Structure 1
Amino acid sequence: MSNLSFKFLEKYYPVFIEGIQWTLLVAMLSVLFGAILGTLLCFMKRSKLSVLKVPIPKVIASIYIEFIRGTPLLLQIFIVYFGTTSFGVKLTPLVACVIALSLNSGAYVAEIIRSGIDAVDKGQLEAARSLGMNQRMAMQHIILPQAIRNILPAIGNEFVAIIKESSMASAIGVAEITYGAKLVTGATYRNFEPLIVAAICYFILTFTLGRLMAYAERRLKGNDSR
């Protein structure tokens, strides 16, 4: 243990600061676009629209969700980054990473939203319909506000997961925390210490976000009890 030295931080701490900034940017964009895609997939999966008795939107959403959840994220990042090049589209590593993480997150968010809606008592939808509301109005004014409270903690957990999974973006050159650790290792020839610093950076981000989400959840429960 006496060989451990973190003196390199005096010179290279900006590399980790920049890595934190890129990690947060990638995570926030991915969760935002993932939430939009997940909402669309959720309503596609709940759709009763069918062609020749085949529920096309539901089938498409189900296949997409199962495929994304059944394949490794790193492979998805490679497919987006290298696959688009095959079609003559050159994406920057950052854009490719955000697209891949958003596509991945969307599949999980779709299931989060679906479970949040299903957790609302079905009797409330029936009561809303009995008051003259149509399906859309009942969903908008009665079901979704309650579902949002149910899914917020899970969305926070998804944000935490994306922060950690963004480390895979280093494989295509996105300058996030893990990539920064690799750069410092190459410059200092120290393998272990930069990884420890990177791990601490991820822990600080996820721990802080976890506490913020726990606080928000308590506030929501407090509002519901009034």
Structure 2
Amino acid sequence: MNFDISIIEQYGPLILSGLPMVLFISFVSAVFGFLIGLLAVFLRGRNKVLKTIVNGYIDLIRGTPVYVQLIFFYLGLPGLFPGFNPPEVLSCIIVFSINSGAYLSEILRAGVEGIDRGQIEAARALGVSKSDIARHIIFPLALRNVLPAVMNEFITLTKETSIVSVIGVADMMYRYNNVSASTYSTFEPLLVIFIAYYILNVILSQIGRFIERKLSYA
């Protein structure tokens, strides 16, 4: 095999132009996934019926590949409901948000269960309302406990978005397919994506460590 640096020089910027789409889908899905995770933790503690529903949702999502979930949502559901035709990017955001929410709900639940109950009881003894306890005690302490796991989930999410090209979203892999088809080269375009994802996730890991250090001194 002959390594051709000119392919990287010529097509590298084109491939990397798909990176903003990766970041957009990852960030928006992470935000909604976090909210879904919080909602799942809240609903779990309401009653047995809601707990059963939430547990079923978590088991279903964690028991199936995200690739299958995306294809099922984008191609499977329109086959069952002909009027259901969501745009490609919106489909990705919905699927990744639901997927991430299932994993984050377990992470956040572990964080809540790891809180020292003495602090909560002390707040109750002082007459602090339940909403203030949740907002000012439970949520900050739980987030501090699980921040590394939350950042790891976000990093995992950015890597999982590499499958969105299968439904036509113009990310880096989508542009790789176009470049590979026109140049008949696979290694050089893939090397660009390989390095881009690696650098991106190293940066995200450093950001996570920085936030963790800030919280540890807060």
Q: Is this a same-fold pair by TM over 0.5?
A: yes
Q: What residue is the counterpart of 2:105 in the other structure?
A: 110
Matches within 5 A, 1:8-87: 8-47=7-46, 49=47, 55-86=48-79, 87=81
Count of residue pairs brought into register by the alignment: 216
Q: Secondary structure at the match of 2:5?
A: coil
Q: What are structure 1's unaligned runs of at least 5 residues? A: 50-54
Would you say the 8 A contact 1:177–1:201 is kept in 2?
no
Match of 1:136 among 131, 151, 163: 131
| Structure 2 SS opposite 1:7 | helix
Are the aligned partners of 1:81 and 1:96 in contact in 2 as well (CA < 8 Å)? yes
Question: Does structure 2 retain, via aligned residues, the 8 Å contact 1:38–1:109?
Answer: yes
Q: Which residue of 1 aligns with 2:95?
A: 100
Q: Deviations over 1:52-91 (max 9, x none)?
A: xxx1111110100011001011000011101332311112
TM superposition score normalised by structure 1: 0.90
Question: How big is the shift at 1:141?
Answer: 2.4
Can you list the C-alpha shifts for 1:81-121, whole angstroms capped at 9, x where unaligned? 01332311112221111111111001011111111111110
Find the residue that maps to 2:3 and give its secondary structure.
Answer: coil
| Counterpart contact for 2:70–2:95, Cα < 8 Å | yes
**TM-score for both structures, normalised by structure 2:** 0.93
> Cα RMSD over matched residues?
1.5
1:75 and 1:41, CA in 2 relative to 1: closer, same or farther beyond 3 A?
same
Which residue of structure 1 aligns with residue 160 of structure 2?
165
Structure 1 position 9, deviation (Å) = 2.8
Report if the CA contact (8 A) 1:93-1:174 is conserved: yes
Moved over 4 A (4+): none
Structure ranking higher on relative contact order (CA contacts 8 Å, 6+ apart): 2
